[in-house]
Every structure is written in structure tokens, then in C-alpha cells.
């Protein structure tokens, strides 16, 4: 797997110089100790560094699921591109969906730095062997869903992802910095769309409320199962892959979103939602974890459609990948080898 080199810990934002000369750790134990010291020093683990197999597997799984979520996440909003209500809204939505494609590509590249093969990851997605965020298995029934996805789904993604800018794996942490800037823009465009609708007719206001009612609980599920049912959290926190638990992030999202809902003039569909002075946080009602488990394991309203569309797009794109690979071979192979040893006379 990884090379058996152990560079000195580096600061998060320092350029990446050649490893400082030092004695090569003599054993696996020495390499592991160096890895632990790197984590403890808040330095980054880089692709060339030795890392435990468990860390590598965890990072590949997390980054792949994140990449798949970005790519599958293009579908619910892509559904409204041809029906956006104005040229301006269509241009915004197109740009937003393209951003998500870009996020997916960064993340597949980050997974490749760990030795994962992108074709293999795609295969795992389209055969249902790797998961993506449960949220994208819900349908977008009206145009206001575009605004609510920007506000709540990108908002929840920001809560999840800002701490990942300090994730211990360098390529992932650096990808997150740019992705978070774009997610923040997505959230604001969603909120602006909803503000515009809320200044409109009673029918438009009702559409916004209907979207909020449908997306609120699935948004809370985006943070994953409660801490008590999240067996991998402790190890991910120890490796500083994860900085906060699922429940901490969910609470942060609720605390951030309630005042935004008030400013917007919508209600959140939870009668138990109220400020708790003692805790300094909002209390909220019980999440339907049976629904979460059903949706994440394939039983949501759109799981089959999302994966089928991804599979057919992948298959329909085979000729593009073949052409790109042929072009790459042509431009990287020296000309005499290209025409073959007994090839004809050069044509140019
Ligand atoms: Fe994204
Ligand atoms: Fe986004």
C-alpha cells in the first residue's frame, strides 16, 4: 500500500517540501508511531506517507461516499433545469449543478491519491455496493425544492464539511476548503430564492412551506445516525478524520437554521422545537430512524431511479472515455512509436 517513508510532520498550510532527512523508522511500530505523532501534532497525512490500512480504508470509504453524493446530488435539482421560471434562475441552477459535478471530480481525485481506482468506485456506486447521502433519494416535487435544497441540504453539508477542512488527510482537507466556499454560495442562492418566493403570492408562500415540511426531517438525517449508534465515530475522531460527532453537528445545524426560518417566515414541522435556556440550544423532536435506515438501504422513494440514471449515463458515456483515452495515448506516445516500427512514411 503506502510507501515506507515517514516525513516529518508539517503544518496544515505550509508548502510541501521534501521530507526532512531523518532516520528511517526500522519497523512497522516505528512507522505507526510516526503516524500517531503526525496526527497528534495536527499535521497532515499526505499520500506518500505510511498510514495504517484501517485509516486508508476509512478515508477511501468516506471520500468515495462523499464523491458519490455530489454526483448523485446533481439529479434532484437537475430535474428543474428545463423548467426554471426565468433565464436568470436557469443560469443559476445550471451553474450550481455544475459545481456539484466539480466537487465530485475533486473528491474522486482525492480518493485516487489513496490508491483507489475511480472506475472501480463508479462500479461500486452503480451496483449498489457503495452508498451516498440518503437525502438525494427524495423527490423534487416543485421548483421551490431547489431553494429548500440550497438552504437546508447545502446548509447541512456546510455544517458537516467545514470541520473537514481540518481533516487529517491532506488532499481531502484541501479539497474541502474550496468545496465549502462553493457550498456557502449555494446555500445563499437557495435562501435568496426562497426570500423572493416569500415576498410573492399566498400560493408561492404555500409552496415554500410545503417544501420545508418535506425536507426538514431528511435534512436532519444527513448527519447520520445518533452517536450511540455510530460505532465508527470514536476511531474517526481519534484519527482526526472527523472533528465533531453526528449529534453535535446536527445540533449546530438546528441552532443555525431556526433563526433563518424565522427570518424567512416559514415554520419548521416540529412541535417540540423550542429554545432550551439551560442547554443554550434548541431542543427538537425525535427523528424517525426507521425511515433513515429504510432510505439508506435502498427503500427510499427515488433510490432505484437515481442509481439507474447514473448507470445509464455512465454506459452512454463509454465512447467519450474511450475517445479521451485514445487521445491521451496519441498525445503522450512519441510519433515513431505511434506509426509503428514498419509504419508508412510520415504524412507531415
Ligand atoms: Fe457540493
Ligand atoms: Fe452544493
Nearest ligand, CA 176: 1
The answer on pLDDT for 341 being more than 80 is: no
CA of 85 to the centre of ligand 2 (A): 20
The answer on pLDDT for 176 being more than 90 is: yes
**Structure confidence at residue 118 as a pLDDT band (50, 70, 90):** very high
Nearest ligand, CA 77: 2
CA of 183 to the centre of ligand 2 (A): 4
pLDDT in tens, 265-307: 999 999 999 999 999 999 999 999 999 999 999 999 999 999 9
The whole-number pLDDT of residue 338 equals 61
pTM of the model: 0.86
Nearest ligand, CA 186: 2
The answer on pLDDT for 3 being more than 50 is: no
CA of 100 to the centre of ligand 2 (A): 6
The whole-number pLDDT of residue 238 equals 85
CA of 172 to the centre of ligand 1 (A): 14
CA of 178 to the centre of ligand 1 (A): 10
CB-based contacts of 201-204 (< 8 A; 24+ apart in sequence): 204/144
The whole-number pLDDT of residue 263 equals 98
The whole-number pLDDT of residue 242 equals 84
Give the mean pLDDT of the chain: 90
- Kindly state the average pLDDT of the residues 317-335: 89
CA of 98 to the centre of ligand 1 (A): 9
Residues with CB under 5 A from ligand 2 (ion): 154, 183, 186
* Share above pLDDT 90 across residues of the chain, in percent, rounded to a whole number: 78
Check: CB of residue 224 under 8 Å from CB of residue 289: no
Give the whole-angstrom CA distance, residue 178 versus residue 171. Answer: 12
pLDDT in tens, 20-59: 445 455 587 889 899 999 998 889 999 999 999 999 999 9
Nearest ligand, CA 188: 2
- Kindly state the average pLDDT of the residues 185-198: 97
Nearest ligand, CA 95: 2
| Alpha-carbon separation of residue 140 from 49, 70, 115, 124, 218 (angstroms) | 43, 16, 36, 25, 13
CA of 84 to the centre of ligand 2 (A): 18
C-alpha cell at 271: 412541535
Nearest ligand, CA 103: 1
**Structure confidence at residue 5 as a pLDDT band (50, 70, 90):** very low
The whole-number pLDDT of residue 12 equals 42
Nearest ligand, CA 68: 1
CA of 185 to the centre of ligand 2 (A): 8
The whole-number pLDDT of residue 6 equals 44
Q: What are phi and psi of 275, to 5 degrees?
A: -70, 135
CA of 156 to the centre of ligand 1 (A): 11
Q: Which residues contact 179 (CB under 8 A, 6 or more apart)?
A: 103, 106, 107, 161
CA of 199 to the centre of ligand 1 (A): 28
Q: Which residues contact 188 (CB under 8 A, 6 or more apart)?
A: 150
pLDDT in tens, 248-265: 999 999 999 999 999 999
pLDDT in tens, 69-99: 999 999 999 999 999 999 999 999 999 999 9
The whole-number pLDDT of residue 237 equals 85
CA of 68 to the centre of ligand 2 (A): 13
The answer on pLDDT for 1 being more than 80 is: no
CA of 52 to the centre of ligand 2 (A): 32
The whole-number pLDDT of residue 152 equals 98
Amino acid at each position: 500500500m503506502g510507501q515506507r517513508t515517514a516525513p516529518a510532520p508539517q503544518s496544515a498550510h505550509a508548502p510541501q517540501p521534501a521530507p526532512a532527512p531523518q532516520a528511517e523508522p526500522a519497523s512497522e511500530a516505528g512507522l505507526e508511531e510516526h503516524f500517531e505523532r503526525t496526527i497528534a501534532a495536527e499535521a497532515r497525512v499526505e499520500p506518500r506517507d505510511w498510514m495504517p490500512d484501517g485509516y486508508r480504508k476509512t478515508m477511501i470509504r468516506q471520500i468515495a461516499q462523499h464523491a458519490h453524493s455530489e454526483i448523485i446530488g446533481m439529479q434532484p435539482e437537475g430535474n428543474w433545469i428545463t423548467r426554471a421560471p426565468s433565464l436568470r434562475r436557469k443560469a443559476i441552477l445550471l451553474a450550481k449543478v455544475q459545481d456539484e459535478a466539480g466537487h465530485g471530480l475533486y473528491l474522486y481525485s482525492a480518493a485516487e491519491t489513496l490508491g483507489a481506482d475511480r472506475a472501480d468506485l463508479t462500479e461500486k456506486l452503480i451496483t449498489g455496493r457503495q452508498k451516498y447521502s440518503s437525502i438525494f433519494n427524495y423527490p423534487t416535487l416543485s421548483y421551490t425544492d431547489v431553494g429548500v435544497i440550497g438552504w437546508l441540504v447545502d446548509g447541512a453539508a456546510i455544517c458537516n464539511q467545514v470541520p473537514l477542512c481540518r481533516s487529517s488527510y491532506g488532499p481531502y482537507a484541501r479539497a474541502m476548503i474550496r468545496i465549502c466556499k462553493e457550498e456557502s454560495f449555494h446555500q445563499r442562492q437557495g435562501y435568496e430564492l426562497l426570500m423572493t418566493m416569500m415576498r410573492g403570492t399566498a400560493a408561492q408562500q404555500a409552496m415554500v412551506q410545503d417544501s420545508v415540511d418535506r425536507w426538514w426531517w431528511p435534512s436532519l438525517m444527513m448527519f447520520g445516525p445518533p452517536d450511540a449508534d455510530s460505532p465508527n465515530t470514536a476511531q474517526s475522531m481519534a484519527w482526526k478524520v472527523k472533528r465533531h460527532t453526528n449529534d453535535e453537528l446536527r445540533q449546530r445545524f438546528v441552532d443555525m437554521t431556526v433563526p433563518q426560518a424565522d427570518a424567512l417566515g416559514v415554520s419548521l414541522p416540529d412541535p417540540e422545537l423550542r429554545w432550551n435556556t439551560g442547554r443554550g440550544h434548541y431542543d427538537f423532536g425525535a427523528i424517525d430512524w426507521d425511515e433513515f435506515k429504510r432510505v439508506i438501504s435502498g427503500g427510499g422513494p427515488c433510490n432505484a431511479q437515481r442509481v439507474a440514471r447514473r448507470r445509464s449515463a455512465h454506459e452512454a458515456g463509454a465512447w467519450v472515455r474511450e475517445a479521451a483515452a485514445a487521445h491521451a495515448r496519441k498525445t503522450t506516445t512519441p510519433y515513431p512509436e505511434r506509426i509503428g516500427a514498419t509504419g508508412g512514411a510520415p504524412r507531415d
